[in-house]
Amino acid sequence: MLQIFSLKLTNLPPASAAAGPVEIYGFIAVRDLLDPLRNYVFNHTRSHPFVMQDPMSDPFIYLSGPKRGVYLQSRALIEYDLRIKSPASGGEEADDDSPLIDGAATLSELTWTNAVLTNRIAGDLGAAAVDMRRALFRDAVEATVDVWITKLAAGDGGGGIDLSMTGCVSNLPEDEIKLFRGVVREPCALGRFVVAARLDSYLFLQFRVAEGVVSSDEFEWFAFRAPPASRPPPPYTSNSPSRDGDRRRRRRITAAQQEDKEDFLKKKKDKEEMETQQLRERNYSTEAEIDDEEEEGVFPAEVLEGMKHGDGSIYRPDAYQMHSLYRIADTTEGCLEPMRLTHPNPDCYPCAATCRQHGGCNMLQIYSLKLVGTPSATTGGGSIQLYGFMAIRDLLDPFRNYVFNRTRDDPFIIQLDDPHSDLSIYPSGPKRGVYFNCTVLIEYDMKIIKVDGEDAQQHDLQLIDGVVTCDELTWNRGPSTYRIEGECGGYAVDFSQALIRGAVEATVEVCITRVAENNANGDAVLDLSISGVLPPRTGEIKLFRGVIDKPRALNRFVVAVGLTSELFLLFKDAASGSTGKFAFRATAHGCVSEHRNFDFATIEVNVTWSNMI
């Protein structure tokens, strides 16, 4: 969440500052993707301006909002139009007023967390400007503060008290949130204030009476603790019908969610059994059978229309509204490497071993790619050879981050006569973790080899070609499956993905140091598959499938793992059915290695942990 601490008028011309109180009106509003309409931070009309009594000693523009918390999992926009009321106009002519700031600016979610930053909005009145102090809080909750003045102390002479109200949070105790400043003459409600506070932190509210109206420098403060993430909601104790009805509704929802979970697991098991039976039968006779294979729980992918590599339309600047932002016309691979923040740095707090500063971020995890529909008439019934690419573009580095990348000379082969084949397309990436605090694009151009020989490429089948979007505003549950419809009849590609919140990047390196002899000739051949599991989420992350005939190191795998959760790596020999398992608990920094002997091989695994930002 975004927290705006203060707005400060700076570099006001000395003549204006010495002329007396400054009256400011207009608005400042934030627009986020949770609700892109205006969320006012400051909003005063010309007839009811904000009065800055002494611009020299107290140049702060006190906030009148926001109405709700500001969602900053993706880029936000701040819109503003402030003016200074001219005393010469006598309060009648707005044309005589001076423009202070007018325009809009973006607030990026790619910023330091739990650190207050100052951004200057240059003004239209000479050197005058507005300084905005703001911070990004991760794992934050919305605190709605209602304040009532129920009694005024005797002795104010009827003139009231000049009251200021500020707030601060325990993780940034030195920075004040400017909430209210004004004269209170009678008991009243000050209003509602919305503040962002991190889970399990404290919100402090300080009330101070300024000198002048009442000669006093006293202050009082309140402290409130935000609940920790693991704390259950407090039980209802009231016997009122509304509370009881709400409690019953909550119980019904919980029971319904449990039924949905059991129904989902049953459907998943039935689906796996059905797929196993279909794989044993081995082929499809007609396209009609493929159409009848419609699966539950598979959603159509959000394809961007009119963007193809085949006709070059994807490279047109007007093909997509954020074409330049994601550098779609640039086909180079991203330069960011994994393991960038593996080693602790001076920002680690309180120490490297228990770092809270690097708390992970939202990351996208691709669980699997799967070819759907394999008519034997177009493939010859033996195998399917795929080539091309699938790459992810995120705003951490918008260049291609390849998930699958094969040339025509080195295609990925799906053996249809393999009893252990599940039609999965095992990925060759990503190169680094995928940042998912904003929309992600998946770009693809994949083909099927139809015939070999010279000039055979022109006869290849176009499997999929285009771009799909993945929205960060998604459920934080198990993987969801999306279908990209193919461009040659009977084919499609399903990809399963999940949003992992508070995730770190796990770079997995696997080395096979020994392969067991498993046949009468004493040959050492291992048909190895590797998958990952992220409890409590269901589903396996397909990492590797191939034949190992000698000790060697495998490719590097990058997986998104929730901080403090576990990554399980499952190894399986398809020929013998033997399995092995490794388990690693995620940390913010560092690396860990394990070496184990299994019946089918001796395997060494090294996992390096790193934050993305």
Chain segment 585-605, per-residue pLDDT in tens:
999 888 999 999 998 999 999
Give the per-residue SS3 of 520-571.
CCCCCCEEEEEEEECCCCCCCEEEEEEEECCCEECCCEEEEEECCCEEEEEE
Domain range holding 79?
2-225
> Taking the alpha carbons of 82, 167, 358, 436 in that order, is the dihedral positive or negative?
negative
Say if 420 falls within a structural domain: yes
Q: Are residues 274 and 206 in the same domain?
A: no
Long-range CB pairs of 258-261, under 8 A, 24+ apart, other chains included: none
Structure tokens at 90: 């006598």
577: left (phi over 0), alpha (psi -120 to 50) or beta: left
> How far is residue 255 from each of residues 80, 248, 262, 477, 543, measured CA to CA in Å?
47, 11, 11, 18, 36
Contact (Cβ atoms closer than 8 angstroms) between residue 305 and residue 318: no
Contact (Cβ atoms closer than 8 angstroms) between residue 100 and residue 26: yes
Closest CA to 528 of 550, 506, 499: 550
Q: Are residues 326 and 398 in the same domain?
A: yes
Look at residue 152 in the predicted model and tell me its pLDDT: 83
> How far is residue 236 from each of residues 116, 269, 564, measured CA to CA in Å?
38, 38, 31
3-state class (DSSP) for residue 274: helix
CA distance 499 to 408: 32
Say if 250 falls within a structural domain: no
Q: Are residues 187 and 294 in the same domain?
A: no
Look at residue 286 in the predicted model and tell me its pLDDT: 32
Say if 241 falls within a structural domain: no
Q: Which residue has the tokens 């002048």?
A: 212
Structure tokens at 607: 């996992």
Radius of gyration of the chain (CA): 31
Q: Are residues 402 and 535 in the same domain?
A: yes
Say if 251 falls within a structural domain: no
Q: How many helices (H) and strands (E) does the chain have?
A: 4, 34
User: Residue 118's Cα: distance from chain center in Å?
Assistant: 24
Q: Which residue has the tokens 């309060």?
A: 91
CA distance 40 to 68: 9
Q: Are residues 348 and 426 in the same domain?
A: yes
Q: Are residues 282 and 215 in the same domain?
A: no
Condensed to tens digits (0 to 9), the pLDDT of residues 213-262 reads 433 445 678 889 888 755 444 443 434 334 344 433 333 445 555 565 56
Which domain-ending residue is among 171, 201, 225?
A: 225
Q: Are residues 198 and 76 in the same domain?
A: yes
Strand-pairing partners, residue 28, are: 42, 80
CA distance 297 to 320: 29
Say if 246 falls within a structural domain: no
Q: Terminal CA-to-CA distance of the chain, rounded, Å?
A: 16
H-helix or E-strand spanning residue 266: helix 241-281
Say if 249 falls within a structural domain: no
CA distance 139 to 563: 13
Which domain-ending residue is among 202, 225, 248?
A: 225
Closest CA to 542 of 555, 534, 532, 556: 532
Look at residue 252 in the predicted model and tell me its pLDDT: 40
Closest CA to 573 of 502, 611, 509, 524: 524
Look at residue 259 in the predicted model and tell me its pLDDT: 62
> Taking the alpha carbons of 511, 513, 514, 515 in that order, is the dihedral positive or negative?
positive
Q: Are residues 67 and 209 in the same domain?
A: yes
- Quickly count: other Cβ atoms within 10 Å of residue 90's Cβ: 8
Could you tell me the strand order of the sheet in which 219-225 lies?
A: 172-184, 161-169, 202-209, 219-225
Look at residue 491 in the predicted model and tell me its pLDDT: 85
CA distance 455 to 170: 69
Which mean pLDDT values do the consecutive 10-residue runs of the chain (613 residues) have? Answer: 92 71 93 90 92 85 91 88 78 77 85 81 83 89 92 71 88 87 87 90 87 50 80 42 39 51 63 54 36 61 89 84 83 90 81 75 93 62 87 92 93 80 85 90 92 72 92 76 86 92 93 78 77 90 91 93 91 88 92 92 94 86
Strand-pairing partners, residue 591, are: 608
Look at residue 459 in the predicted model and tell me its pLDDT: 81
Closest CA to 332 of 405, 386, 412: 405
> How far is residue 229 from each of residues 234, 258, 356, 477, measured CA to CA in Å?
13, 21, 15, 17
H-helix or E-strand spanning residue 200: none
Q: Are residues 119 and 46 in the same domain?
A: yes
Condensed to tens digits (0 to 9), the pLDDT of residues 164-189 reads 899 999 888 888 999 998 888 888 88
Closest CA to 530 of 500, 563, 555, 560: 555
CA distance 160 to 188: 12
CA distance 228 to 199: 5
Q: Which residues of 223-239 are buried (b: 16+ CB within 10 A; e: fewer)?
A: eeebeeeeeeeeeeeee
- Count the domains in the chain: 2
Decide: residue 331, CB within 10 A, 0-12 exposed, 13-18 middle, 19+ buried.
middle
Contact (Cβ atoms closer than 8 angstroms) between residue 423 and residue 414: yes
Look at residue 41 in the predicted model and tell me its pLDDT: 94
Contact (Cβ atoms closer than 8 angstroms) between residue 123 and residue 100: yes
Say if 211 falls within a structural domain: yes
User: Residue 100's Cα: distance from chain center in Å?
Assistant: 35
∠ Cα 557 562 568 (to 5°)? 55
Contact (Cβ atoms closer than 8 angstroms) between residue 191 and residue 147: yes
3-state class (DSSP) for residue 319: helix
Q: Are residues 301 and 369 in the same domain?
A: yes
Q: Are residues 456 and 560 in the same domain?
A: yes
Structure tokens at 44: 């005063």
Structure tokens at 376: 């034997």
3-state class (DSSP) for residue 100: strand
Say if 466 falls within a structural domain: yes
CA distance 473 to 302: 14
Q: Are residues 191 and 285 in the same domain?
A: no
∠ Cα 412 413 419 (to 5°)? 140
Contact (Cβ atoms closer than 8 angstroms) between residue 600 and residue 517: no
Look at residue 283 in the predicted model and tell me its pLDDT: 38
Q: What is the dihedral of CA 251, 257, 263, 267, to 10 degrees?
A: 180
